[in-house]
Amino acid sequence: MPTLPDKLPAIGATIFSRMSQLAAQHGAINLGQGFPDFDCDPALLEAVNRALHAGHNQYPPMPGIPLLRQRVAAQLLGGHGRAYDAEAEITITAGATQALFTAIQCSVGAGDEVILIEPAYDSYIPAIRLAGATPVGVPMTADYRIDWDAVRAALTPRTRALILNTPHNPSGRVASEDDLRTLAALAEQHDLIVISDEVYEHMVFDGQAHQSVAKHPALAARSFLISSFGKTFHVTGWKVGFVAAPQALSAAFRKLHQYTVFTVNTPAQWGLADYMADPAPWQGLADFYQAKRDAFRAGLAATPLKLLPCEGTYFQTVDYSAVSDVPELAFAEWLTTQIGVAAIPLSVFYSRPQERRQVRFCFAKKAATLEAALGRLQALRP
C-alpha cells in the first residue's frame, strides 16, 4: 500500500466516538455524545417531505436557498438587532463543524496563531493545524469564566484570530455582556478575526440573554457567527448550519465553501425554511431544556457528584472527586463499564494536560432515559 502523509499525527479518533462505542459494547446509557434521543417536531418532517415531493431535489444555489437565508437574517435581526444581508452575508453550511472548519481555513495560515478559550470543543485544534496555524490554549478560571488577563498575556504580533464559544461546551457557562465588550476592545486593538461558535444560542437559562457577537457592532464587523439548525431543531444528523458574516468575510468563506461541500442538501433547506416561518420552536427551546436541566440536577443532587453551574447548552458538568481520585478518562471509562452511564472527561478539551476530576453529561434525552441514568448514578458512593 502507498504511504499516506499524516497531517494530524497527534490526533486520533474523537472522544465522542470512543465513548459511544464503549457505551454500546457495555449496554451503558449514553450521556456522553451531545445528541437528543427523542424525535424532532413532526411538522418539520412534513415540511421536508413536502419539499421532496415538490421536486426540490437538485442543486440549490451555492450559498443556500434564498428563503432559508432570509429566514436566518430575520431571526438574527429580531433576536440581536443586527441586519445581515441575506444575499451576501448568510451562508448555509453542512453543519456547524464545516462552518467552523471553513471559517478557520479562510482566516488563518502558516505562522498565524489562534487563541482558544479552553476547555474547547475538539474540532477547533485540528482545523487550525490543517490551516498551518498554531493553536494557543488559554484556560478558563476555576469556575469556568473567561480569564481576560490570561488572554491578553497570550496575544502576540502573530495572533490572527480568537475562537469564542457561548453558550460554552463543555462547561455550560454563558458569556456576559462585559465579556463581549472586553473582546470587542481586544479585537479592535489587535485587529483580530473572531470566530464565534453559537450553536447553543437558544439554550440559555434562568432568564439570561444570549450575548451574540451580532449584538455588538464592533464585533459583528469582524466576526463569523456560526450556528446549527441541528442543535436548535433536534436534527443533529441532518448536518445543516449557517454562518453570518460581513460581506468581505463571507466572500472569503464562500470561496472555500464552494470547493469543499459546494452546497447543502436541498430538501432539508426548503423544509427548514418552511418550518422557520413560525418562531415558536426556537423561542420555546430555553424553557424546554431548562426543565430537563432542573430535573436532571435534582436527581444528581442525590449522588456524591458535585454539580457545577449550568447556565446554557444541554450539558451538565460534575466534579467526581468525592467518588474517586483517578484521572478523568479512567473515571469516564469506569463509569461506562461498571456503572452503566457514559460521560465525557473534560481533560480532552484542553491542548495541554489538565485534570480537575470532572466529567460532562448530556441531558438532551427523554425523561425515561435520564431517570434510568440517574437510577444508576445514585448507586455511586463516596
pLDDT tens, position by position, 113-142: 999 999 999 999 999 999 999 999 999 999
Give the residue-averaged pLDDT of 95-109. 98
Out of 220, 255, 281, a domain closes at 281
Segment 241-270 shows an average pLDDT of 97
**pTM (two decimals):** 0.96
Instruction: Tell me: pLDDT of 1 over 80.
Output: yes
Q: 196 with 106, same domain?
A: yes
Mean pLDDT for 229-256 is 98
Question: Same structural domain for residues 62 and 137?
Answer: yes
Asked whether residue 255 is domain-assigned, the answer is yes
φ, ψ of residue 296 to 5 degrees: the values are: -65, -45
The pLDDT-based confidence of 174 (bands split at 50, 70, 90) is very high
Check residue 5 and give its pLDDT. 92
Separation in Å, CA 89 to CA 69, 84, 127, 167, 244: 9, 6, 22, 23, 6
Domain boundary among the residues 265, 281, 297 is at 281
Element (H, E) at 92: strand 90-93
> Could you tell me if 22 and 75 lie in one domain?
no
Residue 291 has pLDDT above 80, yes or no: yes
Residue 355, pLDDT above cutoff 90? no
Residue 264 has pLDDT above 90, yes or no: yes
In a domain, 3, yes or no: no
One domain, residues 186 and 203: yes
**Could you tell me if 35 and 87 lie in one domain?**
no
Neighbours of 152 (CB within 10 A): 13
179: left (phi over 0), alpha (psi -120 to 50) or beta: alpha
pLDDT category of residue 106 using cuts at 50, 70 and 90: very high
Q: What percent of the chain has pLDDT over 70?
A: 100
**Interval 8-48: pLDDT, tens:** 988 877 888 889 999 999 999 999 989 999 999 999 999 99
Rounded-to-integer distance, Cα 152 and Cα 170, Å? 23
Domain co-membership, 100 together with 238:
yes
Give the CATH number, domain containing residue 58.
3.40.640.10
Whether 216 and 273 map to the same domain: the answer is: yes
Residue 27: CATH number of its domain: 3.90.1150.10
Q: What is the mean pLDDT of the chain?
A: 97
Q: What is the pLDDT of residue 10?
A: 82
Q: C-alpha cell of 376?
A: 444508576
Confidence label for 67 from pLDDT (cuts 50, 70 and 90): very high
297 and 231 fall within a common domain? no
pLDDT at 277: 97
What percent of the chain lies above the pLDDT cut of 90? 95
Closest to 210 measured CA to CA, from 104, 325, 289: 289
Residues 126 and 226 in one domain: yes
What average pLDDT score do residues 251-268 get?
A: 97
- Within 10 Å of residue 237's Cβ, how many Cβ atoms? 9
pLDDT computed for residue 354 by the predictor: 84
Rounded Cα distance between 174 and 293, Å, is 15
Q: In what order do the strands lie in the sheet with 344-345?
A: 306-307, 315-319, 358-362, 344-345
Q: Looking at the structure, do residues 306 and 161 belong to the same domain, yes or no?
A: no
- Statement: residue 203 has pLDDT above 90: yes
pLDDT at 94: 98
For residue 311, give the nearest of 195, 145, 141 by alpha carbon.
145
Please state the φ and ψ torsions of residue 90, each to the nearest 5 degrees: -120, 130
If asked whether residues 246 and 339 sit together in one domain, one would say no
Please tell me the predicted confidence (pLDDT) of residue 12. 77
Q: Which of 12-21, 156-165, 181-190 has the lowest mean pLDDT?
A: 12-21
Cβ-contact 194, 160 below 8 angstroms: no
pLDDT for residue 249: 98
The parent domain of residue 78 ranges over 42-281
Q: Tell whether 155 is covered by a domain.
A: yes
Domain end among 259, 281, 303: 281
- Within-domain flag for 338: yes
What is the mean predicted confidence (pLDDT) over 335-348?
A: 96
Half-sphere exposure of 171 (CA within 13 A, CB side): 23
Both 51 and 103 in one domain: the answer is yes
Count of the separate structural domains present in the chain: 2
Note whether residue 10 is domain-resident: no
Phi-psi region of 340 (alpha: psi -120 to 50; beta: other; left: phi over 0): left
